[in-house]
Each structure stands twice: as structure tokens, then as C-alpha cells.
Amino acid sequence: MTETPDEPLSPTGRLFMQPSSDEVINCIVAGENPIALDTLKSEISNSLMLKHPRFCSLMLRDRRGREHWRRTAVDVDRHLVVLRARLSGADDDEAVSAYVAGLASSSPLAADKPLWEIHVLAAHNAVVFRVHHALGDGVSLLSLLLTHCRRADDPARLPTVGGSRASAASTLLTRQRWGFWEIVKLLWFTFFYVVEFVLRVAWLSDRRTVVSGGSGVELWPRRLATARFRLADMKIVKRAVTDSTINDVLFGIISSGLSRYLDMRESQALRNGIQITGIAMVNLRPHTGLQELSQLMSGDPGSRWGNKFGVILLPVYYHGSEADPLEFVKRSKAMIDKKKLSLEAPFSYKLMDSIISLLGPKLASMLKYRLLCNTTFTVSNVVGPQEEITLAGNPVKYIRPTSSSLPHAITMHMMSYAGIADLQILVAKDVIPDPRVLANCFQDALLELKAAAEAALKS
């Protein structure tokens, strides 16, 4: 039998193996019924996941410190962590959130086996999938996770994921025809945002507020809360602001919700317009979705599996009061529209890729850490299944991803599922001791936006 040769990590994979960039994606899948452990184990053993080389490989370093993947036999039992006792918490959701918050700050994955685990919280009907970020980005890993699932209304079919559209960044890169003013705008906005990005990495920092993190904050204990939004409510707001998107509405909610929270927590009055900068990950693949999974897993040179995303800066602004709450969405839309006309995301991807290849992952990790310390929060938005699904025959109540702790005091990951969008809010509890209050600020912001949108649509 021919032995499979070791495969080097991609530049981004090497970045995620550095101590200051070591990151694990934790995804909660809650079931309606008790977890059938044997059925779940059988599903995993026969899944596409165990056919993927990344999930069947150890990460090893050679004498020069270069990282490599080496194929190994997988013992599924070593990757299953089963907890049968009830965890402390007022209800199942609170208990599971507290458990995952603990994992986020203090539980790295063991290096003597492939870098993934599945925690079964039997008493709470929940499963936590843990995958190291070096194995792939959120889009790739979500696609792989959902191959374990089936539609509740048709068990023979895979879930329908609504994220098959091209991203704005990849559309810019593949557009065939350009107008003169489009080229001018592309060059101007790219120059402006690239300069801003470089300054953020170098020294430019947000003003300190009660939600600011900083160096060392990634080591602090965490709490986790969830803000729940109805997609129907977000779409009402979307219709009221011409040509807006769900992402525009989300950032309007974040801007309004953070302003509400700062009003409650800040001891001194803040000046309207103070910038609070977020970091968002932008998918750079032309397409996403389960229909692409066979290509993602093919292993050929054109395969897009792995980490292929750029980083953009997304500023939101404090406003103590607004006569028209929709102004939060309108400002967010204006900002995001300009970002879509730039190559900031591809630039950040190529910059980090080049630094890792030419100067090594340690320098790239240091620069990434500085960028996090100079900004205030991380946010992502992933489109999940459109219909209700099952995992190992168990109807799924919700799917909620989050990640390891970062120097940010706030990390937010939103994922939609069957008409509901859950925003997971991971906070450093010594900075934000009341994440449930912050979640309520976001939920109240959407309700206020919805009321303003309904009034605007009637007028």
C-alpha cells in the first residue's frame, strides 16, 4: 500500500496555528429530542467528513518548524466527548451557552489527533461541533457540517442553503465589463480603504469605551448570550430602505444596539458620531453552498476548500438619539456600498498570504493581533438552511456558531435557520458583565427599526 505523502499547510492555515492566532470554531446544534449516541456515531463514521483529508490528518512540524498534514487512522470514539450529567443553568439554552463560553477561552484541541471534536451534552439534547480554523473557514465547515443533516420534510434530501450567490468581492474580481466611473470609484475606494487598513494595523485605534478589549483580553473568562431575530422583521426593514440588504439591516441593528448599550453603561456623555470599528470576514469564493461540496473536497489545484476569506473594517457610529431609527440602516448601507466597490477584502487576503509566504506566519500573526487590539468587535453573518432539518434523525431547534476568544471584548456570529437569525454574542465578562442586556439592546433595536419601517411603508 502506497503511503500518502505529507502535505504542507496553506499560508492561512499556518497563521491559525500560531499561538496568538490559534482559533477553534464551536458550533452548537440543539435537538428537539434526546441525542441517540449510536445513531450519531454511525452518521459521523459514514459521513463525508471522514473522507476529507483534513479531518483524517495530524498537524506535525518538521525540524525547521514548518507545519504539515500527515494522514492517520481516525478513531471516532477519541473525538467524541459525552457528558451525561446536567450542567448548571436556568434552562437548556443557558447551560449549553455557559459550557461553550468555557470552551471558547480555555479548551484548545489536542494535537495528538485530527483537530476536531464533537461534544454531546446528553442531558440538554445538544451537540457541539469543534473544528480548528486551520482546517477551513466558516463557509467550508458549515457545508461539511450540513452533510450530516437532512430536510425534516424530505429525509432523502440535503438541506437547502441560500448562500449560493457570489460575494461582492468575488463579483468584482470576475466582472467582465467595466465603465469609466466604475473604474474610478474602484481605484479611489480601494486606495482609501487600503490606507485605512494599513493604518489600523500599524497604530490607529478606536477610542476607549466600556465595550473595548485589548491585549490579553482573549485570556479572560467569557459569557455567551443570543439575540434572536425574525428574518421576516429584518426583511420589512430591508424593504423600507431602498436597495438595502440583510447585511445592511444587521449593521444598522448593531449600530443602534451598541448606541443603546453605551447610553446605559458610559458614565460620561459621548459625542455623537464616535466611531466603533468592527472586523468582518468576507468570503472570496465565487459560490458557496452544498452543491459545491464535491468540488470543495476534490483536492485538485482549483479546489476552493480551506480558508479563503478577506478582512474588511466596518465602522459603526454612536448616536444617542435618532428622530428616524432608519438612519442607522441608511448609514450602514452607504458605508457597505462603498466597501463593495473596493478591493479591500482581496487586498487583505493577498497581503496576509504574501507576508506568511515571504516573512513567516509569526509576523503575520503579530500584525493580525495588532489589528484586533486596535478595533472593537468581530462580526460575521452566514446563511444557513432555509427549511427545518434533522441531525441523525433528530429535529434541529437551532444552529449557533461562535469561535475561540479574541482580544475583542465582543465577538458576534449570526446564522439564519428556517426563518430565524440567531446572533451569538461572546463577551469578556469582566468588560461586559451583562451580555443578556446587550442582546436585548440588539433585539429592541430591530423592533424599533421594524416599527419605523412599517410607518414609512404606509406613508
> What pLDDT shows up at residue 32?
95
> What pLDDT shows up at residue 268?
74
Domain ranges in the chain are 7-458
Phi first, then psi: give them for residue 259, nearest 5 degrees: -60, -45
Quote the distance between the C-alpha of residue 378 and its chain's center. Answer: 8
Which positions are catalytic?
Answer: 133
> What pLDDT shows up at residue 142?
82
Q: Give, for 195, the enclosing helix (H) or strand (E).
A: helix 180-202
CB atoms < 10 A from the CB of 307, how many?
Answer: 23
Matching CATH number, 7-458, of 3.30.559.30, 3.40.50.970, 3.40.50.300, 3.20.20.100: 3.30.559.30
Rounded to 5°, angle at Cα 339 from 336 and 345: 125
Q: Which of 227, 254, 247, 179 is nearest to 383 (CA)?
A: 247
Q: Which of 417, 348, 357, 427 is nearest to 385 (CA)?
A: 417
* Grid cell digits, residue 34: 434526546
Rounded to 5°, angle at Cα 119 from 117 and 120: 145
> What pLDDT shows up at residue 346?
92
Q: Treating both helix axes as pointing N-terminal to C-terminal, what angle do 246-265 and 435-458 enclose, rounded to 10 degrees?
A: 130
The set of residues, in sequence order, having a beta carbon less than 8 Å from that of 348 and lying 6+ positions away, is: 197, 310, 311, 312
> What pLDDT shows up at residue 164?
45
Q: Give, for 199, the enclosing helix (H) or strand (E).
A: helix 180-202
Rounded to 5°, angle at Cα 25 from 200 and 294: 105
> Which residue is associated with the grid cell 479531518?
55
80-115 exposure pattern, b = at least 16 Cβ within 10 A, e = fewer = beeeeeebeeeebbbbbbbbbbebbbebebeeeebb
> What pLDDT shows up at residue 300?
44
Q: How many Å apart are CA 414 and CA 284, to the nearest integer? A: 18
User: Among positive and negative, which fits the CA dihedral 251, 254, 256, 258?
Assistant: negative
Q: Which of 339, 288, 328, 284 is nearest to 309 (CA)?
A: 284
Question: Strand, coil or helix: what is 168?
Answer: helix
* Grid cell digits, residue 141: 465547515
Q: Treating both helix axes as pointing N-terminal to C-terminal, what angle do 246-265 and 326-340 enclose, rounded to 10 degrees?
A: 130
Judge contact between 206 and 313, C-beta under 8 A. Answer: no
Q: How many Å apart are CA 255 and CA 318, to the nearest integer? A: 7
Q: How many Å apart are CA 382 and CA 140, to the nearest integer? A: 11
> What pLDDT shows up at residue 302?
42
Residues forming beta bridges with residue 149, ordered by sequence position = 391
Q: How does DSSP classify residue 5? A: P
CB atoms < 10 A from the CB of 420, how many?
Answer: 15
**Along the 459 residues of the chain, how does pLDDT read in single tens digits?**
456 788 888 888 899 999 888 999 999 999 999 999 999 999 999 888 888 888 999 999 888 878 899 999 999 999 999 999 999 877 999 999 999 999 998 888 999 999 999 999 999 999 999 999 999 888 778 888 888 899 999 988 888 776 544 555 555 555 556 778 888 999 999 999 999 999 999 999 999 999 999 999 999 999 999 999 999 999 999 999 999 999 999 999 999 999 999 999 987 778 888 999 999 988 887 654 554 554 555 444 444 566 778 899 999 999 887 778 999 999 999 999 999 999 999 999 999 999 998 999 999 999 999 999 999 999 999 888 989 999 999 999 999 999 999 999 999 999 999 999 999 999 999 999 999 999 999 999 999 999 999 999 998
Question: Strand, coil or helix: what is 279?
Answer: strand
CA distances from 225 to 52, 95, 211, 361 (A): 33, 11, 15, 33
Q: How does DSSP classify residue 148? A: T
Rounded to 5°, angle at Cα 113 from 108 and 118: 65
Count of alpha carbons within 13 Å of 93, Cβ hemisphere only?
A: 13
CB atoms < 10 A from the CB of 4, how many?
Answer: 13
Q: How many Å apart are CA 253 and CA 196, to the nearest integer? A: 24
* Grid cell digits, residue 221: 473568562
> What pLDDT shows up at residue 170?
54
* Grid cell digits, residue 140: 467550508
Whole-prediction pTM? 0.92
Report how many helices (DSSP H) and strands (DSSP E) the chain contains, helices first.
14, 16
